[in-house]
Amino acid sequence: MAKDPSSLDLTTMQDAWRMFKVTSEMVEGFEQLRYLPKCVSIFGSARAKPDSKNYKDTVAIAEKLCDRGYGIITGGGPGLMEAGNLGACNKNGTSVGLHIYLPHEQSCNEYVKTRINFRYFFVRKLMFVKYASAYVVMPGGIGTMDELSEAFVLMQTKRIELFPIILYDSTFWSGLLDWIKTTMVDAGYIDKDELDLITMKDTPDEVVDYIARHTALPKRCL
């Protein structure tokens, strides 16, 4: 049965307006972030509590990065995102929050100095990659893994230049990397050498020293 032409027109109009919304988010992100200093994007669980080791370590990482002249970009929410922005504020550094509208967990934390709101995850992920000189991936859930895999694939396929991706806390991440090595690599779905795109560190000083050694040149991206 042929569809009602009027319903097709409505769908087309809705898609057209959605395109304009996506474009406006991109334009706002580019305009607000284009003058940022060299920044590091920090990811991690929104559910981590302020008294947890991961929260305290994230604050320390952000503070030490700011001492080295880096700005901090997070998702702007609670948990380890808040910890990253708090660390930046403690050092009066650049503190960016790329805030996404979600039904729960994602109120913007009070330590964000530059806030951009998003409805579309893929636009938000573009901003994380484009303005980051490195990724620090703290322990987290599926959202954290989504950000990790996005950057990994872009470098794996040579769509962006290489930059450090650091997994923090080997006790949390080593099981995932072991599975990739013994399952994906053995099956031929990923080259063993591609895992060199990722490194693991266990202390804030190790993270900051590694980033400082591997971000000496400006990053060109997208």
Model confidence over 110-133: pLDDT tens digits?
999 999 999 999 999 999 999 999
Per-residue pLDDT, 220: 44
The residue segments making up the domain with residue 50 are 21-170+198-213
Residue with tokens 């000083």: 205
Number of domains in the chain: 1
Single pTM value for the model? 0.88
Nearest by Cα to 129 from 110, 103, 105, 157: 157
- Sequence-ordered list of residues with C-beta below 8 angstroms from that of 216, at least 6 positions apart, any chain: none
- Cα–Cα distance measured from residue 153 to residue 221, given in angstroms and rounded to the nearest whole number: 14
Residue 111 belongs to some domain of the structure: yes
Residue type for position 121:
F
3-class SS of residue 164:
coil
- 181: tokens are 């090595």
- Cα–Cα distance measured from residue 91 to residue 98, given in angstroms and rounded to the nearest whole number: 20
Mean local confidence (pLDDT), 19-28: 92
Residue 32 belongs to some domain of the structure: yes
Residue 62 belongs to some domain of the structure: yes
- Cα–Cα distance measured from residue 35 to residue 209, given in angstroms and rounded to the nearest whole number: 25
Model confidence over 43-83: pLDDT tens digits?
999 999 999 999 999 999 999 999 999 999 999 999 999 99
Per-residue pLDDT, 14: 80
With DSSP H G I counted as helix, E B as strand and the rest as coil, what are the percentages for the chain, rounded to 5? Answer: 50, 15, 35
- Cα–Cα distance measured from residue 21 to residue 79, given in angstroms and rounded to the nearest whole number: 29
What CATH number should be reported for the domain holding residue 71?
3.40.50.450
Helix (H) or strand (E) holding 98: strand 95-100
- 8: tokens are 């097709």
Residue 52 belongs to some domain of the structure: yes
Residue 8 belongs to some domain of the structure: no
pLDDT band at 104 (very low <50, low <70, confident <90, very high): low
Nearest by Cα to 47 from 77, 72, 70, 27: 77
Residue 41 belongs to some domain of the structure: yes
pLDDT band at 221 (very low <50, low <70, confident <90, very high): very low
CB 112 within 8 A of CB 62: no
